Structure 1
């Protein structure tokens, strides 16, 4: 199952990425990430984050 998708902000629509739709997009892309909080993150945060990432893989 392909988990990648294209987000079209003008239409507010998510489009599955496949060989056909990949031909429609530019080779340049931008990714926006939420910033980490402005405090020291403890080890339990990193452990939970690692576990959450492992579940999505």
Structure 2
């Protein structure tokens, strides 16, 4: 009997107590996260290339 009440409580909380974001807000947030993920990967790629360049110069002396 306790398991049934437990799962019923989960169901009630999931459908009636949680406020879900609107579809447009979810799309905007997804676009922002995607943009910054791509920007950060390009930035880190550049920084890595810069470090490789300096390390090659340092050890080629």
Which bin holds the TM-score, normalised by the shorter protein? Answer: under 0.3
Structure with greater helix share of residues: 2
* TM-score, structure 1 normalization: 0.28
Structure with greater strand share of residues: 1
Radius of gyration: which is bigger?
2
Q: Which structure has the higher relative contact order (CA within 8 Å, separation 6+)?
A: 1
* TM-score, structure 2 normalization: 0.26
